[in-house]
Chain A
Amino acid sequence: DQQVKQNSPSLSVQEGRISILNCDYTNSMFDYFLWYKKYPAEGPTFLISISSIKDKNEDGRFTVFLNKSAKHLSLHIVPSQPGDSAVYFCAASVAGGTSYGKLTFGQGTILTVHP
């Protein structure tokens, strides 16, 4: 039972354009959502997060949108840069205390940004 799904295994974008990565979840108990970025041979690194009380969170070139009714979130990267090329994981948790790191991950989307 895949509770967090990233249906696009890969995405290819031109430098300077917008990258949009999508994620769907099924568990209504999830109330905190994160995006992690992973380069080859490295561990995932935290990128941006959003609480279920918000529908948008922005950090520089990265914006995460949350649609609770659709159980859908997306990550927008504008403008995309070649250094953004990596695997992006969507993750979800139940907020609070020791639970923030207890994550359910999607399968990941490989983003390639072409110069």
Chain B
Amino acid sequence: EAGVAQSPRYKIIEKRQSVAFWCNPISGHATLYWYQQILGQGPKLLIQFQNNGVVDDSQLPKDRFSAERLKGVDSTLKIQPAKLEDSAVYLCASSSLLNTEAFFGQGTRLTVV
């Protein structure tokens, strides 16, 4: 079974530029999550999708972050404009109703300079 796929693996951008990350969850997983992990901290949930609907985006900084999952499968997370403090690893995870845990991708390491 293929795992959660994310791209790109690494991205370096200047502040005020925009960036997008892509995630393909495990096949059949209806629930998709985006987490932000700042160096030295644990991952923090940004947004949760159930199929193509948003379940929880209470911790997403909506003035600059946006996410979508149009067809209920792949998802993109966008930052526009980026700030220095957005430097982090962005992790995508997915789960199904049959699971009691989430499965994580390898993450995208973003550096904003």
Confirm or deny: A43 has a beta carbon within 8 angstroms of a beta carbon on chain B: yes
Confirm or deny: A85 has a beta carbon within 8 angstroms of a beta carbon on chain B: no
| With A43-B4, A44-B91 as contacts: A101 and B102 at CB distance below 8 Å | yes
Confirm or deny: B14 has a beta carbon within 8 angstroms of a beta carbon on chain A: no
In the complex the two chains form, is A102's CB within 8 Å of B107's CB?
Answer: no
In the complex the two chains form, is A100's CB within 8 Å of B99's CB?
Answer: yes
Confirm or deny: B12 has a beta carbon within 8 angstroms of a beta carbon on chain A: no
Confirm or deny: B33 has a beta carbon within 8 angstroms of a beta carbon on chain A: yes
| With A44-B104, A49-B100 as contacts: A101 and B42 at CB distance below 8 Å | no
In the complex, what residues of B have CB within 8 A of residue A100's CB?
Answer: 95, 99-102
In the complex, what residues of A have CB within 8 A of residue B44's CB?
Answer: 105
In the complex the two chains form, is A43's CB within 8 Å of B104's CB?
Answer: yes
In the complex, what residues of A have CB within 8 A of residue B42's CB?
Answer: 4, 6, 89, 91, 105-108
Q: Specify which of A36, A98, A103, A105 lies most central, judged by the most chain B CB atoms within 10 Å of its CB.
A: A98
Confirm or deny: A42 has a beta carbon within 8 angstroms of a beta carbon on chain B: yes
List 11 additional contacts besides A102-B33, A105-B43; criterion CB under 8 Å.
A36-B104, A42-B106, A42-B107, A43-B4, A46-B102, A98-B31, A98-B48, A101-B48, A103-B43, A105-B44, A106-B42
Closest 5 CB pairs of A and B: A105-B42, A101-B102, A43-B104, A101-B95, A46-B101
